[in-house]
Amino acid sequence: MNMYFDISLAEGYKSAAQKTRVLSEAWVTENVFCPCCGNPHISKLENNLPVADMRCKKCGEVFELKSKNGNIGKKILDGAYETMIERISSFTNPELFVLQYSPDYAVTDLTFIPKFFFVPNIIEKRKPLPPTARRHGWVGCNILYSNIPEQGRIPIIRGGRFIDKDIVVNKYVKVKSIQTNNIESRGWLFDILNCVNSIRSELFTLKEMYGFITVLHDLHPENNNVEAKIRQQLQVLRDKRFIEFLGNGVYKKII
């Protein structure tokens, strides 16, 4: 497998952002399978759509690609805030690939984020552009990458090596059971999942979960019964086979 971008494709493009886009898209369509259905290839879409870059011809899922030289960090710069919120609220946002490459243009990491992991809490509104800017007043957004639960950041390439296709597709199929059309309840579910993930041991207790009440209340100030919400979302995670109830307020993570 050739992990390097084909630099010759960038000839004629002036901006660094355009070059990266052309090179990384070409590489992904040449080398990456569809993480939703396992189709060996994903096809490039014409660039007349506002966000979507690629589409799987077998399952029809549409993907957007964001690429970065080096580490992703905590946030990913995205487009207009209002558009993003509208898309995630109307379920028209695409699946997301996050690609990292080295200074010599070799792909090091590729992560797949299923579209239903996008909830308002992971979208950060940026400050409006200042009066001196050409598009002054325009409001962009950041994707708070590190706030997405680890179950929603499915690795496809790590350290320059592909993860087995079956492992990737199985992970996707499992997390897909989390998908609901109610964006608010999904937001709650991911916040509770983040709390569960932050507990290191395989076993944990309801009492430990109640330790997150303040954090959760800050995220959802409108809710006055966070304890009940925690219990309810733990039941959802149990029904989706992410955790097991062992009785007496003790839970076990299902890896």
Kindly state whether residue 217 participates in binding Zn ion, applying the rule CB under 5 A: no
Among 9, 26, 33, 39, binds Zn ion (CB under 5 A): 39
According to DSSP, the β-strands at 54-55 and 123-125 are unpaired
As measured in angstroms, the least distance from the Cβ of 169 to Zn ion is: 9
In the complex with Zn ion, which residue's Cβ is closer, 39 or 83?
39
Among 10, 28, 52, 56, binds Zn ion (CB under 5 A): 56
* Residues 181, 195 contacting (CB under 8 angstroms): no
The backbone torsions φ and ψ at residue 246, rounded to the nearest 5 degrees and listed phi first, read -100, -5
CA angle 89, 95, 98 (to 5 degrees): 120
In the complex with Zn ion, which residue's Cβ is closer, 2 or 43?
43
State the DSSP string of 157-220.
EETTEEPPHHHHHHHHHHHHTT--S-HHHHHHHHHHHHHHHHS-SSEEEHHHHHTTHHHHHHH-
Kindly state whether residue 34 participates in binding Zn ion, applying the rule CB under 5 A: yes
As measured in angstroms, the least distance from the Cβ of 114 to Zn ion is: 12
Q: Which stretch binds Zn ion (CB under 5 A): 27-35, 102-110, 202-210, 239-247?
A: 27-35
Can you tell me whether residue 41 is helix, strand or coil? coil
Kindly state whether residue 59 participates in binding Zn ion, applying the rule CB under 5 A: yes
In the complex with Zn ion, which residue's Cβ is closer, 37 or 80?
37
Among 58, 153, 220, 252, binds Zn ion (CB under 5 A): 58
Residues that bind Zn ion (CB under 5 A): 34, 36-37, 39, 56, 58-59
